[in-house]
Chain A
Amino acid sequence: MAEDQNKILDEVTGGEYKYGFYTDIDMDTIPKGLNEEVVRMISAIKKEPEFMLEFRLKAFRHWQTMTAPNWAHLNIPEIDFQDIIYYAAPKKKPELESMDEVDPELRATFDKLGIPLDEQKILSGVAVDAVIDSVSVKTTFKETLAEKGIIFCSISEAIQEFPDLIKKYLGSVVPHGDNFFAALNSAVFTDGSFVYIPKGVRCPMELSTYFRINAMNTGQFERTLIVADDDSYVSYLEGCTAPQRDENQLHAAIVEIVTHDRAEVKYSTVQNWYPGDKEGKGGIYNFVTKRAICKGDYSKVSWTQVETGSAITWKYPSCILQGHHSVGEFYSVAVTNNYQQADTGTKMIHLGKNTRSLIVSKGVSAGKSQNSYRGLVKVSKRAENARNFSQCDSLLLGDKCGAHTFPYLEIANNTAKVEHEATTSKIGEDQIFYCNQRGLSTEDAVGLIVNGYVKEVINQLPMEFAVEAQKLLQISLEGSVG
């Protein structure tokens, strides 16, 4: 542990946002702005079947009737949706036979990010569907997974090859009219991932996708759909970095998860998008809709997220617990520093009998940042014996930041048992001095204390992600203590 921490600190003292480089790759873009023509163009470029074009147009027309939400505890500058490029893809080359054919610049980008795309990485057992801007460049492990009947591919590919599954599930958890950003995404999403785990199959490896926003002024609208059929299991990892940029970039993704009887999906995110500089300039706007439906009895969905990046985060991974005895879990660490703003949490909607949910949220605020937990626990009339436990902790570094907790409870069944615990604490000077006196630097001491504080959540992450997450915590809190 200590070695890791030393290493982390060494990297940390480098200072600048580590992933702030810009790759010069030929881009296919369509002009700025959004209208029906642009939506039709996106669908046409992607050679989509008719039903997708209709899906998009319906969403677009609905979006036009909506206004951006303003209920969150966030200060969001007005976004000019006509000033965004809605499609950018690395120039299409002929079908790629091997890694050698991948654009060397693109590969260099992946290398800098440490993305395990090449052959040696097969040993690490991670299948990667790498997304740069909007089009999936390369998908590995497909064959291995195919043997088990698992589908893991880009959503564009799925639209072409598995239209029945897409028709059935796309938009079934997050309908296009759900919210402003969901409608926008449904109209203009360009790519993302699709996972289908057939009945009785336990996915033998962690599935992961690396997102990366690359083109100047290109909004990124990812779409992820995961379907776990009866008695199946999958663990899915999502991690992101983005290049340093002065102009704000909009990211409005949708993730939908469907679990059938006794199926389990574990969805882990480490999010490290450019948060803006020390004065709060630049940075990514991250407005994401993530929702799962536990359709089947005894099914389970577990969201784990470590959020350290973005200028503004607006994100509530949720579970609709429809199946009886289904379980929803939400583990979250949200770190804000400098001028970052985060309004994040979860919704647990109990519909089935004997459904259970667990919420563990750990907020860390530093600098002049604002960090809010917003959570809804809803127990419907028919949800007999629903159980929820929520724990929301806030840790403050310094006295210019803010932590807020907004727990909402809507209970319509009197057999429900709902518990909520919340704490707020501050890293004390005396704790730091105690560590100093044992030979620890102040940065190390803060790292140690913060990592101790978020341990419960980090432990939920797959091993390799946990190490990455610890690094990110250190990097994000760099310079936050005098």
Chain B
Amino acid sequence: MLVIKDLHAKIEDKEILRGINLEIKPGEVHAIMGPNGAGKSTLSSVLTGNEKFEVVDGSVTFNGKDLLDLSPEDRAREGMFLSFQYPIEIPGVSMVNFMRTAVNEHRKYRGEDPISASDFLKLMRDKKKLVDIDSNLTNRSVNEGFSGGEKKKNEIFQMAMLEPKLAILDETDSGLDIDALRVVANGVNKLKSPERSTIVITHYQRLLDYIVPDYVHVLYKGRIVKSAGKELALELEEKGYDWIKKEFED
């Protein structure tokens, strides 16, 4: 579903990604771990088309299409979803209006008619229940005045609404207490399906207790330096990143 080949990307003149190779198949959960500054968030930004970053080399194929050729909104409509590390506040725009516009844009892209008001409200209700979020969050403006935990829950709710093929969770666990973490992880797990793949970007093993990965990759200095099964996360938790750093010092 997603094939990344020798991906290089820079911001201003600084090369952050220096040759990423990764293949993700339908239904798989991949965890990407690594120390600060390794390029984890850059990878999610580049995949979703954030223009602050410039792709210098390499290719990315998503659903058989050249991902790097698509606009950010078309990448989203193709089924790529990013749960932001720092969700943005949009004052004055209601969640209902925002989500309805988003859902309809996805439908239009697939050649479907816009969703009716009643179907939409029902969909909202069902998904809220599924991810266990407060009903009053959706009555407010997008992320405005939300606590850190509420923002992250809201990201998972949006993911449930848009039913992406590939969800990228960018440090979704940062700033969450253990209860909120559980809610968020449960939401993600409920959305798991044989067609839906997930990339979990995280510093800590903790989240991976709840969202169990099929593969764990260690990103260091813009490259994936180690890939293994879920046991790698435990090893990292125990030993820290220093041994990786030592091993791969240029």
Contacts and interface: CB of A to CB of B under 8 A. Distances in A.
B72 A437 contact: yes
Given A434-B87, A437-B48, A439-B102, A448 B73 contact: no
Interface stretch (B30-38, B103-111, B125-133, B196-204): B103-111
Nearest to A455: B92
Contacts, number: 89
A439 B162 contact: yes
Interface stretch (A1-9, A143-151, A152-160): A1-9
B92 A441 contact: no
Contacts of A437: 48-49, 72-73, 75-76, 81-82, 84
Contacts of A439: 73, 76-77, 102, 105-106, 109, 162
A23 interface: no
B226 to A, nearest CB: 29
Interface size class of B (residues with CB under 8 A): 35 or more
Interface in B100-124: 100-106, 108-109, 114
B161 to A, nearest CB: 9
A438 B158 contact: yes
A434 B81 CA distance: 11
Interface size class of A (residues with CB under 8 A): 20 to 34
B98 interface: yes
B92 A449 contact: yes
A477 B81 CA distance: 28
Given A3-B114, A6-B114, A434-B88, A440 B73 contact: yes
B101 A431 contact: no
Contact of A2 (B48, B82, B114): B114
B239 to A, nearest CB: 35
Contact of A452 (B77, B91, B106, B109): B91
A6 B109 CA distance: 13
A440 B84 contact: no
Nearest to B80: A437
B76 A452 contact: no
B102 A434 contact: no
A438 B79 CA distance: 10
A435 interface: yes
B50 interface: yes
B71 interface: yes
A2 B97 contact: yes
B227 interface: no
Contacts of B100: 1-2
A440 B105 CA distance: 7
A448 B49 contact: no
Contacts of A438: 76, 98, 102, 105, 158, 162
Contacts of A451: 92-93
Contacts of B88: 428, 430-431, 433-434
Given A434-B88, A437-B82, A452-B141, A2 B104 contact: yes
A444 interface: yes
A2 to B, nearest CB: 4
Nearest to A428: B88
Contacts of B109: 439
B114 A433 contact: no
B142 to A, nearest CB: 8
Find the residue from B92, B98, B101, B109 having the highest chain A CB count within 10 A: B101
Nearest to A425: B91
Given A437-B48, A438-B102, A448 B97 contact: yes
Interface in A1-41: 1-3, 5-6
Contact of A1 (B49, B81, B101, B102): B101
A1 B117 CA distance: 9
B84 A3 contact: no
B186 interface: no
Nearest to B142: A434
A225 B114 CA distance: 45
Nearest to B114: A3
Contacts of A444: 101, 105
A436 B94 CA distance: 16
B56 interface: no
Nearest to B161: A438
A453 interface: yes
B101 to A, nearest CB: 4
Contacts of B11: none
A438 B88 CA distance: 12
Contacts of B48: 437
A436 B141 contact: no
Contact of A448 (B76, B82, B98, B114): B98
Contacts of A440: 73, 101-102, 105
Nearest to B96: A1
Contacts of A429: 51-52
B90 interface: yes
Contacts of B52: 429
A452 B90 contact: yes
Interface in A327-385: none
Interface string B141-178: 10000000000000000100010000000000000000
A3 B92 CA distance: 19
A434 B49 CA distance: 11
A436 B72 contact: yes
A367 B38 CA distance: 39
B46 to A, nearest CB: 13
Interface of B: 48-52, 71-73, 75-77, 81-82, 84, 87-88, 90-94, 97-98, 100-106, 108-109, 114, 141, 158, 162
29 contacts: A1-B100, A2-B97, A2-B100, A2-B103, A2-B114, A3-B104, A6-B114, A433-B72, A433-B88, A434-B87, A434-B88, A434-B90, A437-B48, A437-B49, A437-B84, A438-B105, A439-B77, A439-B105, A441-B105, A442-B73, A448-B98, A449-B93, A451-B93, A452-B92, A452-B93, A452-B141, A453-B91, A453-B92, A455-B92
Question: What are the 5 tightest A-B residue pairs by CB atom distance, in nearest-first order?
Answer: A452-B92, A436-B72, A452-B93, A434-B88, A439-B105
Interface of A: 1-3, 5-6, 428-431, 433-442, 444, 448-449, 451-453, 455
Given A433-B51, A436-B73, A438-B158, 18 more contacts: A1-B101, A6-B114, A429-B52, A433-B50, A435-B90, A437-B48, A437-B75, A437-B84, A438-B76, A439-B102, A439-B106, A439-B109, A441-B71, A448-B93, A452-B92, A452-B94, A452-B141, A455-B92
